[in-house]
């Protein structure tokens, strides 16, 4: 006989049944004996009770209901037995109720019940969702971002307090959470890693080994799933790269260092990135104080220090490093020791233009700011903030750029999910800027004119039957639709929605950056758009409602209903209902 795995349907019921087996058996036996005795003992007239009467009497005696009605006058033998029944049955009930309460307080029972509830909650999610492993600083920031984007997520974390914190938040979408070790395959299956609407697993735990294991287990359980893992070591990245397609790793320090590099060679790109991320106090008008060229001092040569050094070095920026550990590689100016006034002076703080405080200790980084500012008030300060709870102190320290690894990671992952075309767009901007320095300025001006002071939103839409049903039907009727028509305001088509199209990806994967107005859109095109929230909502309405779409394309109103459409055709001819634009029919 083949060994079959244990069926996993509803383990909670099984636990209850198993735990309640003894109390139930005892109850049945006690009742049986009591009823049997009552039915055997002779009454006053010598005849015993019927079984029905005995059953009735024991039922209300046992529950101490205390009805006054007795089937007939009892004999003394019956009374004696009734006393016995009363005691025994009441004790049995107390025992059974005690067993239920013990069960409810049992830790393992509670865990099983939570797991069962969690599975039910995951099954109820009908939209596409992601699995978040780890709900620390990064996880909670990402969950908030996903909720704002309307994408549900399932959260796994080892820390019970984090899961409790999750349940107290109010999200716009379901976010069930379970306290467990996310690298155990069973829990990943509970979280729905094999479900068809599970789009990806995001491993954000503090332990890179655990992240790697989560990634490997998820890949084995579901070959088509997208995997995003946080990793800051070369070894893990290489291993992750072997897990096949759609596996991504995010290294917060590398992401930040690249951003910093971009800021030095292409300042407007940095402004654009910060503005799209809704960084505090950043508008397109306000020029951020950007890292000036000149000598830079890097305090701390750990993961972040190394990445920043590499990037600055590759742009030919002169750097000095202060670190207590012996140098591992060949660096021009390397000063051993902690960053104090003495070592900072030795590194040339008076002539330096910028300082990067990159230690993994917040207190240390804060003291570097104070020291460096004291020695050179005009120096540009970039500081790493490790813990979210120290935010107030860092804001008071007034550094030029505060780098929070958790925030950088969360933003990056959120953009990977909600706006996958943003990355190619940014590398396009970086390339393009090298050829034409004014190009970025013009783009920022255009964005400012279109969106104004409102918060920008990135919108990603695939022009498919699912996401744009009205458009799909129009294509079936032979319509040719240009991008500019979609971006008209359905309230009055002369006005444009506050949207700037960033990227248009055709079905053949070809990318068009900042597409022109009269580009024709086709089935399967994917668009990356930047606009106000209201404008993106209107665009969604246009793509879903054929009346709005007909209006923005042709400038005429499509009659509601078959009858009026027939009348309209009789009166104006069939051409009036076809999708040709307004100018050609003269309507």
Partner 1 sequence: MNLEKVIFGFFIVLALTLNFGFFLGEMDNPQYHNAYELFVLVVVNLIATGLKLGDRTQIGAILLSTSLVADLELIAAAIYWTVVVHVTETGMTPDVTASIVSLSGGALVANIVSVVMVVAETLMLRR
Stretch that binds partner 1, among 28-36, 123-131, 257-265, 543-551 (CB under 8 A): 543-551
**CB-wise, 416 or 470, nearer to partner 1?**
470
* Pairwise CA distance, residues 82 & 32, whole Å: 14
User: 228, 200 in Cβ contact below 8 A?
Assistant: yes
Considering the rule CB under 8 A, would residue 534 count as an interface residue with partner 1?
Answer: no
| H helices present in 315-463, as ranges | 341-346, 362-375, 391-397, 405-418, 422-435, 438-451
**Which token pair is 113?**
């019940």
- Please tell me the distance from the alpha carbon of residue 254 to that of residue 233, in angstroms, as a whole number: 10
Per-residue tokens: 583 = 């100018």
Which tokens hold the place of 551?
A: 């209006």
CB of 543 to partner 1, least distance (A): 12
What is the number of other CB atoms lying within 10 angstroms of the CB of residue 53?
A: 17
Q: Which of 123, 186, 442, 491 binds partner 1 (CB under 8 A)?
A: 491
Closer residue to partner 1 (CB): 198 or 536? 536
The three-class DSSP label of residue 123 is helix
Residue in 325, 561, 574, 586 binding partner 1, rule: CB under 8 A: 561
Which residues are CB-contacts of 136 (< 8 A; sequence separation ≥ 6)? Answer: 157, 162, 204, 205, 206, 406
| Shortest spacing between CB 492 and partner 1, in angstroms | 5
Stretch that binds partner 1, among 34-42, 163-171, 410-418, 562-570 (CB under 8 A): 562-570
Distance between CA 106 and CA 109 in Å, rounded? 5
Q: Which is nearer to partner 1, 394 or 550 (CB)?
A: 550
Q: Which two tokens stand for residue 154?
A: 């399932």
Interface pick for partner 1 out of 545, 569, 581, 587 (rule CB under 8 A) = 545
Site for partner 1 contains 378 (CB under 8 A): no
Helix H or strand E segment including 213: helix 208-221
Give the binding range for partner 1 (CB under 8 A) out of 242-250, 504-512, 523-531, 557-565: 557-565
Q: Does 557 bind partner 1 (CB under 8 A)?
A: yes
Q: Which of 1, 563, 574, 583 binds partner 1 (CB under 8 A)?
A: 563
What residues from 456 to 475 belong to the interface with partner 1 (CB under 8 A)?
470, 473
| Residue range at the interface with partner 1 (CB under 8 A); choices 81-89, 142-150, 504-512, 553-561 | 553-561
Task: Look up residue 484 and give its two tokens.
Answer: 């500019």
Instruction: Write each residue from 420 to 459 as x if it is in contact with partner 1 (CB under 8 A), else as -, in one continuous string.
Output: ----------------------------------------
Measuring CA to CA, which residue among 267, 253, 275, 368 is closest to residue 315?
Answer: 267
Instruction: Tell me if residue 375 falls in helix, strand or coil.
Output: helix
Residue from 492, 518, 583, 586 touching partner 1 (CB under 8 A): that is: 492
- Within 13 A of 506's CA, how many CA atoms are on the CB side? 10
Residue 523 or 577: the one with the smaller Cβ distance to partner 1 is 577
Shortest separation between residue 552's beta carbon and partner 1, angstroms: 11
User: Is 559 among the residues that bind partner 1 (CB under 8 A)?
Assistant: yes
Our finding on whether 564 is near partner 1 (CB under 8 A) is yes
Residue 352: both structure tokens together: 């330096």
Helical H segments across 266-383, by residue range: 267-276, 303-314, 341-346, 362-375
| CA neighbours closer than 13 Å in the CB half-sphere of residue 443 | 25
Residue 537 is a binding residue for partner 1 (CB under 8 A): no
How far apart CA 322 and CA 121 sit, in angstroms, is 51
Cβ nearer to partner 1, comparing 320 with 548: 548
Residue of the chain from 239, 340, 467, 544 that contacts partner 1 (CB under 8 A): 544
Q: CA gyration radius for the chain?
A: 35
Q: Bridge partners of 321?
A: 298, 334
Count the site residues for partner 1 by CB under 8 A: 19
Say whether residue 547 binds partner 1 (CB under 8 A).
yes
Out of 568, 576, 577, 579, the residue judged to bind partner 1 by CB under 8 A: 568
559 or 581: CB nearest partner 1: 559
Q: Which is nearer to partner 1, 116 or 551 (CB)?
A: 551
Give contact residues for partner 1 (rule: CB under 8 A): 470, 473, 490-492, 544-548, 557, 559-565, 568
């Amino acid at each position: 006989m083949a060994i079959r795995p244990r069926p996993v349907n509803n383990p909670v019921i099984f636990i209850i049944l198993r735990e309640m087996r003894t109390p139930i058996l005892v109850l049945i036996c006690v009742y049986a004996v009591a009823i049997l005795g009552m039915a055997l003992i002779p009454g006053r007239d010598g005849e015993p009770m019927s079984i029905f009467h005995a059953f009735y009497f024991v039922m209300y005696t046992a529950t101490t209901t205390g009805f006054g009605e007795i089937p007939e006058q009892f004999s003394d033998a019956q009374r004696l037995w009734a006393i016995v029944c009363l005691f025994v049955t009441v004790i049995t009930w107390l025992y059974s109720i005690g067993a239920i309460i013990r069960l409810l307080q049992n830790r393992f029972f509670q865990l099983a019940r939570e797991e069962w509830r969690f599975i039910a909650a995951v099954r109820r999610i009908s939209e596409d969702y992601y699995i978040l492993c780890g709900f620390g600083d990064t996880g909670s920031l990402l969950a908030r971002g996903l909720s704002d984007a309307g994408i549900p997520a399932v959260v796994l974390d080892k820390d019970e307090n984090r899961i409790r914190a999750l349940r107290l938040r109010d999200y716009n979408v379901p976010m069930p959470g379970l306290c467990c070790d996310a690298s155990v395959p069973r829990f990943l299956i509970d979280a729905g890693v094999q479900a068809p609407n599970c789009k990806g697993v995001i491993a954000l735990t503090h332990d890179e080994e655990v992240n790697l294991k989560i990634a490997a287990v998820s890949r084995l359980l579901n070959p088509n799933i997208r995997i995003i893992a946080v990793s800051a070591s070369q070894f893990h990245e290489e291993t992750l790269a072997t897990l096949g397609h759609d596996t991504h790793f995010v290294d917060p320090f590398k992401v930040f260092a690249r951003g910093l590099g971009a800021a030095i060679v292409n300042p407007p790109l940095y402004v654009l990135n910060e503005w799209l991320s809704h960084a505090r106090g950043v508008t397109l008008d306000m020029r951020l104080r950007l890292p000036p060229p000149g000598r830079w001092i890097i305090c701390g040569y750990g993961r972040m220090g190394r990445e920043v050094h590499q990037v600055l070095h590759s742009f030919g920026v002169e750097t000095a490093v202060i670190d207590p550990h012996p140098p591992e590689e060949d660096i021009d100016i390397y000063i051993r020791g902690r960053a104090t006034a003495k070592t900072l002076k030795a590194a040339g703080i008076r002539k330096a233009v910028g300082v990067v405080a990159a230690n993994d200790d917040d207190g240390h980084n804060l003291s570097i700011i104070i020291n460096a500012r004291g020695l050179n008030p005009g120096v540009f300060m970039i500081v790493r903030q490790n813990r979210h709870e120290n935010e107030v102190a860092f804001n008071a320290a007034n550094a030029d750029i505060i780098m929070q690894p958790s925030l950088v990671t969360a933003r990056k992952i959120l953009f990977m999910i909600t706006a996958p075309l943003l990355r190619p767009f940014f590398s396009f901007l970086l390339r393009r800027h090298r050829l034409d320095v004014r190009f970025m300025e013009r783009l920022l001006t255009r964005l400012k004119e279109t969106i104004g002071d409102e918060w920008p939103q990135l919108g990603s839409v695939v022009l498919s039957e699912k996401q744009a049903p009205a458009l799909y039907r129009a294509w079936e009727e032979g319509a040719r639709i240009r991008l500019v028509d979609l971006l008209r305001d359905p309230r009055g088509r002369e006005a444009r929605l506050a949207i700037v199209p960033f990227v248009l990806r055709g079905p053949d994967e070809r990318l068009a950056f900042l597409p022109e107005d009269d580009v024709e859109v086709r089935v399967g095109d994917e668009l990356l758009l930047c606009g106000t929230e209201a404008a993106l909502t209107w665009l969604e309405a246009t793509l879903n409602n054929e009346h709005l779409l007909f209006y923005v394309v042709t400038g005429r109103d499509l009659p509601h209903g078959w009858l009026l459409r027939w009348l309209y055709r009789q009166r104006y001819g069939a051409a009036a209902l076809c999708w040709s634009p307004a100018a050609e029919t003269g309507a």
